[in-house]
Amino acid sequence: MPNLTLEKLYFIERQCLNPQDAIIIRLLMEGVEIHEMVYLKKNSLDVSIRILTVKDSLGQKRFLKVSERCAELYQHAVKQTHYCFYNDYDPIHRKFVTLKDSPYLIRVCLQDYIANESMIIEIDSVILRTIYTRLRSLATFFSLPQISYLTTVRLDQEQKAFA
């Protein structure tokens, strides 16, 4: 990841306005790939033992021990009902939208379904597009274009964050 240190990722995660965005950053730091996040559900985390059940598109499972911080953010992300867009530092001009209720961790809004003037109906495609859009938004808001690389690069084992 070009010039994107764990310290910068910690900073971004802690400054996120939305728990949904913070959990994306945190899960990447802890070794979950974006295509795996698509299939995470609200109940994928056993909070008592902090074990995350990660599935891929074929339904193959792996189990991942996550940090206390990740478990905390996961619970906040599950409870988030409105999404705040990063359009301005001025809180008066911020735009909020209602997130659709679903069994998935990453919740979407109606705008997330609209792409290229057509409706995407496969929920996994919608969630994947939502994650990419949110990462690009964070990259712009924090003036760190390197965040875009998080969509294509998996953090090495020694880079994973357990804070």
Write out the two tokens for 79: 């409870």
Pairing state of beta strands 82-84 and 45-46? Answer: unpaired
Q: Could you give the CA distance from residue 84 to residue 135 in angstroms, rounded to a whole number?
A: 14
What average pLDDT score do residues 81-98 get?
79
What average pLDDT score do residues 26-40 get?
92
Q: Give me the pLDDT at residue 157, please.
A: 47
Q: Give me the pLDDT at residue 111, please.
A: 73
Least confident of 37-41, 143-147, 159-163: 159-163
Least confident of 36-40, 65-69, 83-87: 83-87
Helix (H, G, I), strand (E, B) or coil at 115: strand
Nearest to 24 by CA among 64, 77, 68, 85: 77
Write out the two tokens for 101: 């209720």
Average pLDDT over all residues of the chain: 83
Check pLDDT > 50 for residue 2. no
Write out the two tokens for 160: 């994973």
Least confident of 15-29, 80-94, 115-129: 115-129
Is residue 155 within 8 Å of 103, Cβ to Cβ? Answer: no
CATH class of this structure's domain 6-153: mainly alpha
Q: How many CA atoms lie within 13 A of 63 on its CB side?
A: 5
* Owner of token pair 């953090």: 155
Q: Give me the pLDDT at residue 7, please.
A: 85
Helix (H) or strand (E) holding 96: strand 96-98
Check pLDDT > 50 for residue 103. yes
Is residue 52 within 8 Å of 66, Cβ to Cβ? Answer: yes
